[in-house]
């Protein structure tokens, strides 16, 4: 089969052990990021299988209708970037393992790195040192502070454990089912959403993005945070009401932020407001970008291709397409 892999920025995927699963297929790997429909349509005209690297490229009807040979989209995790209705109408199978029971340690470790970087001003101190300055301010320690985990899923649970090891009081706010699990694990539950934002010294978001969670963190929520608090987001920017975080930081509540995700990605504009605030630490959505995590993710993705090739597609998110598959 003819297979295309998009958005492999560092040409990493061909070096993974799991890449051997695709031996015998004709593979084209693209290392740049393109969203232009005309360019993508030309590149993918003959492609039968499309491999997506998370949500980096949007695959919508306007593009799908110009890919007559496409039979399978194989990826991992959620799929708000894919027009599932159009895929089903056109006979394109979408396979996407949801890995609900697999902790993403890469993202959890990245989250904790941002927590430490934020409260100790590590990037700012490094920049100052390179500019010939010595100590530009005093950071904060984490011990005996309150870590607020918003969303107690597979990553939130791991980050909560990190907080406990660092001697923090861990406070949880999440949906009812997750709160029950947090209680079973011995963590304290916030009395209310407002109390959660008011009492936490560090708040970290750990939720999947779908209709019910989009904009779940509001400007009012952020306004209740302490002036000394740190807001961390390694999940999805759209969990926060658009523009609310920038405005909140400008108003001084919270006092700091550390983010790995943005409303529009990639971020080519060096004038982006978050990149130009002294109280913000920013990284380019690298929470899951580690060789170890890539091996886990692309093993699932390539296994889906092998299953499709053998006539038994797996993890199909639009099963009704099987009636009129290409």
CATH of the domain at 301: 3.40.50.720
Residues 192, 239, single domain; the answer is: yes
In this prediction, residue 104 carries a pLDDT of 87
CB 193 within 8 A of CB 137: no
Of 157, 206, 285, 315, the active-site residue reads 285
Of 206, 208, 236, 315, the active-site residue reads: 236
Examine the domain organization and report whether 94 and 17 are in the same domain: yes
Q: With a cut of 70, which residues of the chain have pLDDT below it? A: 100
Q: Please report, for residues 25, 53, 290, the alpha-carbon distance to residue 30 in angstroms, rounded to integers and kept in the order given.
A: 16, 11, 19
Q: CA 311 from chain center: how many Å?
A: 31
3-state secondary structure of 197: helix
- Check if 236 is active-site: yes
- Percentage of the chain beyond pLDDT 70 is 99
- Tell me the per-residue pLDDT of 228-274, one tens digit each, with 9 for 90 and over: 999 999 999 999 999 999 999 999 999 999 999 999 999 989 999 99
25 and 88 share one domain = yes
- Are 82 and 166 within one domain? no
99 is catalytic: no
Question: How big is the CA angle at 255 (ends 195 and 234), to the nearest 5 degrees?
Answer: 80
Catalytic residue among 14, 265, 291, 320: 265
Q: Do residues 88 and 40 lie in contact, with contact meaning Cβ atoms separated by under 8 Å?
A: no
CA distance 231 to 18: 36
Q: Where are the alpha helices (DSSP H) in 141-192?
A: 154-165, 176-184
168 and 46 together in one domain: no
Domain that holds residue 156: 105-282
| pTM, rounded to two decimals | 0.91
Contacts 24+ apart (CB under 8 A), 136-145: 140/201, 140/228, 142/115, 142/116, 142/166, 142/167, 142/168, 142/202, 143/167, 143/168, 144/168, 144/169, 145/169, 145/201, 145/202
> Active-site residue 33, yes or no?
no
């Amino acid at each position: 089969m003819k297979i295309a892999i998009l958005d492999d920025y560092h040409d990493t995927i061909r070096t993974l052990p799991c890449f051997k699963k695709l031996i015998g297929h004709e593979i084209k790997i693209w290392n740049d990021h393109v969203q232009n429909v005309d360019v993508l349509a030309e590149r993918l005209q003959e492609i039968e299988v499309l491999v997506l690297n998370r949500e980096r490229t949007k695959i919508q009807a306007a593009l799908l209708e110009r890919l007559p040979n496409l039979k399978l989209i194989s990826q991992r995790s959620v799929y708000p970037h894919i027009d599932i209705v159009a895929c089903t109408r056109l006979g394109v199978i979408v396979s996407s393992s949801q890995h609900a029971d697999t902790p993403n340690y890469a993202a959890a470790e990245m989250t904790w790195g941002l927590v430490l970087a934020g409260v100790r001003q590590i990037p700012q101190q490094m920049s100052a040192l390179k500019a010939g300055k010595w100590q530009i301010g005093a950071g904060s320690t984490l011990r005996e502070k309150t870590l607020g985990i918003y969303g107690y899923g597979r990553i939130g649970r791991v980050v909560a454990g990190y907080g406990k090891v660092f001697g923090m009081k861990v406070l949880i706010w999440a949906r009812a089912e997750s709160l029950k699990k947090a209680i079973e694990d011995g963590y304290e539950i916030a009395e209310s959403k407002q109390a959660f934002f008011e009492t936490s010294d560090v708040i970290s978001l750990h939720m999947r993005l779908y209709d019910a969670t989009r904009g779940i963190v509001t400007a009012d929520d952020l306004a209740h945070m302490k002036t000394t608090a740190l807001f961390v987001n390694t999940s999805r920017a759209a969990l926060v009401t658009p523009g609310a975080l920038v405005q909140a930081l400008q108003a001084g509540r919270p006092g700091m932020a550390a983010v790995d995700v943005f409303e529009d990605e990639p971020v080519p504009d060096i004038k982006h407001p978050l990149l130009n605030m002294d109280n913000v630490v920013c990284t380019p959505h690298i929470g899951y970008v580690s060789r170890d995590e890539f091996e886990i993710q692309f093993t699932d993705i390539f296994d889906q291709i092998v299953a499709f090739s053998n006539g038994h597609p797996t993890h199909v998110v639009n099963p009704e397409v099987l009636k009129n598959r290409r």
